[in-house]
Structure 1
Amino acid sequence: MQKLSLSQSLQQKLSPQQIQFIKLLQIPTAELDTRIEEELEINPALEEGMDEEYEQKEEDDPYDEVDEYKDRDDDLDIDSYIKDEDYTGYKMQGDGNYAEEEREMPLATSSSLTDALLQQFGYLNLTEQQRIVGLQLIGSIEADGYIRRSLQAIVNDLAFGQNVFTSTEEVEAILHKIQSFDPPGIGARTLQECLILQLRRKDPADPYNVLAIRIIEDFFDEFSKKHYDKIQRRLNISDDSLKKVIDIIIKLNPKPGSVEDEAGAAQYLVPDFILTNNNGKLELTLNSKNAPELRISRSFADMLDTYDKSKKQNKSLKETVTFVKQKLDAAKWFIDAIKQRQQTLLKTMNAIVRFQYDFFLTGDESRLKPMILKDIATLIDMDVSTVSRVANSKAVQTEFGIYPLKYFFSEGISTDTGEDVSSREVKNILKDLIDAEPKLHPLSDDKLEKILNDRGYNIARRTVAKYREQLNIPVARLRKQL
């Protein structure tokens, strides 16, 4: 027997304005201009510029007529704006299915890895089936230059996708042709094959190149683990010969595909904040791009007042009034969200500056204090998630360089004197110790732990290992150099 029951539940839902603010808060300054341009395109009630006189009048009566702008109503084609619009609520970026106008953007001319391979592929004398197989192989090459999809899977792709029936032998034969292309090592299936392909391009008469190929072919596992003594015993070669061969191998490119994209890989960090030292007093300002001048369109406000005073018997007129109201509300929401973004950014960054004042004054990394997200959230009386959104994508320009805000957050390590120091300081010491270690006998994590403990830092071996991994430093055995 079915039973009916009532239950109450409390759910928290974000308003459109809150979602708008969250999206705006987490994007960096470099992307803010693009986001504002998108809003200006889809909302005719939003304009660039500032008009204080009109803003003051708007506070008294936002829909008062402004005679100076009454004539501008005729210049706006409302029908072109309300066409295909819905009236369920404010459209946020990414919602709905409004059409975006196509814009011509100037693009820098550059050759991608695929373009370079296709150009070389065009010089091969192939049958139609071999050409299709070759194009499938080139399409399977990943950004780093490797083919990780098995040859049998490629055979299946050709059969089911293009109705081309071939064999793994034929596919491998075409692959060997592609592996002769530039850059050397392209189309390899493993790191071992990639290194061998590059070595075979070198002088075959050089005995060290021949020896390098043999080491990679027969002793790759020992080489990757840097068991050089085993290789030396098995091949019965001198220390000098082994060193010359290792020098040849380590100069090879393990990611040949990345060579083609190096020219377009440069990225620039745009600071969100600018911190200056004015005679010992730190002054924080927002990047001007974070404070755009936006306003609500006067003509739209006047238009709404005109429509409100008219008789609303006509259905088309009612739709127009609804459209204008929604666009005005959306424009006000967006302007408020931008202002709230500015206030939150400044509030958060000011708290970080107060917390790390000694560092920002001197630039001495040893002055960095242990600081976590909760410390700043408590100072500014905001949620940790809000601080996280600010810290994860923003940067500050100081007299000592540009720093991402994440740089200033770190754990605390206790010392023998009972003080807490930033884990950033410990990582810097750890990096210095490893940089200065004897390359033939690198320091193990146990030895690094002992050295740090002797310097007064109470740190465990597992913490040393964790910090070393965060610094992308391999274990001692893999740091060994001849």
Structure 2
Amino acid sequence: MLKQQLQQKLQQKLSPQQIQVIRLLELTAIELEERIKQELIDNPALDEGAEEHENPDTDEFGNEDTDASAESAEDISMGDYLTEDDIPDYKLEADNFSKDQKHEDIPFSGGSTFHDFLLKQLGERNLSEQDAKIAEYIIGNIDDNGYLQRPLSAISDDLIFQVGIDISTERLEDLLQMIQDFEPAGVGASNLRECLLLQLERHEGTPAALLAYKIIDKSFDEFTKKHYDKIQKQYNVSEEELKKAIHEITMLNPKPGSSWSDSFSDGMSHIIPDFIVDSHDGELTLSLNNSNIPELRVNRSYTHMLEDYMGNKQNQTRDKKDALLFVKQKLDSAQWFIDAIKQRQQTMLNTMQVIIDLQRDFFLTGDESNLKPMILKDVAERTGYDISTISRVSNSKYVQTNFGIFPLKYFFSESMQNESGEEISSREIKKILQQCIENEDKRKPLADDKLCDLLKEKGYVIARRTVAKYREQLGIPVARLRKEI
């Protein structure tokens, strides 16, 4: 049954400009640079570089002043594109290089990868063409940590359907054992236990190495749970002998391929700060780090084109009207993008300024104990922005200070009270908790309830579950796993 009805409701929708600003706020400095480059490619009405002023009697686009009558009757206003806002008043190109310095692009080289290293060793083996292909396929299934997580039966099926090679799992096992002889030791293992055993097989046959091999081979579960007393009884060894065996194990590499993947990721993970805060004589100055971001402006030729179309309204064909609409859309998009960039910069500056005001003592001294409790709501109330906006600004953003580079989230922490009723940061409690764990007797590590009692003695009254939460946030395991002999 069909029926018609009227309904009234209020609905709030974001404009395209607001959506664009929100998306730009989430970007880091590197991502913003890429986004601007893409916009310059997609929109021919957007240009980079400073505007040249050739005629003092012309406006910033080189056009002579026009009468109001030249404006379009179709709500297309040249004033939208011929204002001083077209040349951004923000500084996107930082002149922070001295005369003696040259700003040059440094070519990036990825270097040799972990799999390249394995394939190079494979090339040194005397194998048939088919065995070489199979071994290469096995290497391709080894992950960046050096493990072969897929079972050989699955690899055998892949080779039949994808390459057309029918090979038994026994032959695959032989080729895998050859790969497990490659450097680094432990490569090609299916799990941690096998990885450690492969490494111990290459060690000298010292008593400590032999005992370490037995422990990993026969008592791996007890070792991971740190049941050292059971291991001592099982192998009838002294505490000193067990210590040497454990030391032998701890010297092994649980991720054989990490030396390659880590070095590559380190080269790719250089942090570029979004803000720069300088402290000089008790004064703090804030600036945005936009050294690699070009200055933006509306393309002059497109404004000329729009003016020409508007000035020749008579005998306009359909093609000319379509061209007029296209030019206007591109100019609108360019102006929106420039305004969005400006709004992003201003929002970020306002947010960071409030963070500096709230954490002024830290920015002056660099002392972590001077960090005050601060949550997103505190910054939102002082800036007038929504909490979601503050979250977007602080997410994945970094600030360079006189004491190092910090993520913005570093300055946010919960508020708690000590026995005297004074508000303190949860970061301070975490620091004291970490000190308590560092100073504990490793033979008898402190459980969470004992840590809770210890913090109460120091004047910090918190629940045991809160201690457990802070311990996990610090990446510290439970007491049983912290036990040493």
TM-score (norm 1): 0.85
C-alpha contact (below 8 Å) 1:64/1:305 kept by paired residues: no
Aligned to 1:136: 137
- Alpha-carbon distance between aligned partners in 1 of 2:369 and 2:118, rounded to the nearest angstrom: 50
- Alpha-carbon distance between aligned partners in 2 of 1:61 and 1:241, rounded to the nearest angstrom: 82
1:122: Cα distance to partner?
2.1
Letter in 1 for 2:392: R
Bigger mean CA deviation after superposition, 239-248 or 270-279: 270-279
Q: CA RMSD in A?
A: 2.8
C-alpha contact (below 8 Å) 2:57/2:64 kept by paired residues: no
Aligned to 2:94: none
Letter in 1 for 2:274: D
- Alpha-carbon distance between aligned partners in 1 of 2:179 and 2:13, rounded to the nearest angstrom: 55
- Alpha-carbon distance between aligned partners in 1 of 2:50 and 2:371, rounded to the nearest angstrom: 41
1:106: Cα distance to partner?
4.2
Change (3 A) 1:52 1:106: closer
- Alpha-carbon distance between aligned partners in 1 of 2:192 and 2:57, rounded to the nearest angstrom: 70
Please state whether the residue corresponding to 1:448 is helix, strand or coil.
helix
- 1:129-164 C-alpha deviation (Å, 9 max, x unpaired): 433332222121112111212222222222332333
- 1:400-431 C-alpha deviation (Å, 9 max, x unpaired): 22111100111122210112211111111111
1:315: Cα distance to partner?
4.5
Change (3 A) 1:332 1:242: same
1:412 aligns with 2:430: no
Please state whether the residue corresponding to 2:170 is helix, strand or coil.
helix
1:279: Cα distance to partner?
2.5
- Alpha-carbon distance between aligned partners in 2 of 1:291 and 1:338, rounded to the nearest angstrom: 11
Aligned to 1:248: 248
- 1:296-318 C-alpha deviation (Å, 9 max, x unpaired): 12222112211222356445444
Alignment match of 2:306 (pick from 304, 307, 312): 304
Q: Which runs of 5+ in 1 are unaligned?
A: 68-103
- 1:340-394 C-alpha deviation (Å, 9 max, x unpaired): 0111001111111122223223322222222111111111111111100111121
- 1:187-239 C-alpha deviation (Å, 9 max, x unpaired): 11110000001111222x32221221111000100111111111111111122
Aligned to 1:177: 178
Bigger mean CA deviation after superposition, 350-359 or 121-130: 121-130
Give 1:2-41 correspondences, 5 Å limit. 5=5, 7=7, 10-41=10-41
Give 1:115-264 correspondences, 5 Å limit. 115-203=116-204, 205-264=205-264
- Alpha-carbon distance between aligned partners in 2 of 1:105 and 1:354, rounded to the nearest angstrom: 37
Change (3 A) 1:391 1:119: same
1:401 aligns with 2:409: no
Aligned to 1:98: none
Please state whether the residue corresponding to 1:264 is helix, strand or coil.
helix
C-alpha contact (below 8 Å) 2:51/2:60 kept by paired residues: no
Aligned to 2:281: 279
C-alpha contact (below 8 Å) 1:183/1:259 kept by paired residues: no
Please state whether the residue corresponding to 2:265 is helix, strand or coil.
coil
Letter in 1 for 2:25: L
Q: Which runs of 5+ in 2 are unaligned?
A: 67-104
- Alpha-carbon distance between aligned partners in 2 of 1:62 and 1:125, rounded to the nearest angstrom: 70
Change (3 A) 1:3 1:223: same
- Alpha-carbon distance between aligned partners in 2 of 1:199 and 1:9, rounded to the nearest angstrom: 72
Please state whether the residue corresponding to 1:256 is helix, strand or coil.
coil
Aligned residue pairs: how many?
Answer: 444
1:397: Cα distance to partner?
1.8
Change (3 A) 1:155 1:51: same
Letter in 1 for 2:385: M
1:66: Cα distance to partner?
7.8
Give 1:445-456 correspondences, 5 Å limit. 445-456=448-459
1:470 aligns with 2:467: no
Letter in 1 for 2:239: D
Letter in 1 for 2:248: I
Change (3 A) 1:422 1:57: farther
Letter in 1 for 2:480: R
Aligned to 1:355: 358
Change (3 A) 1:109 1:370: closer
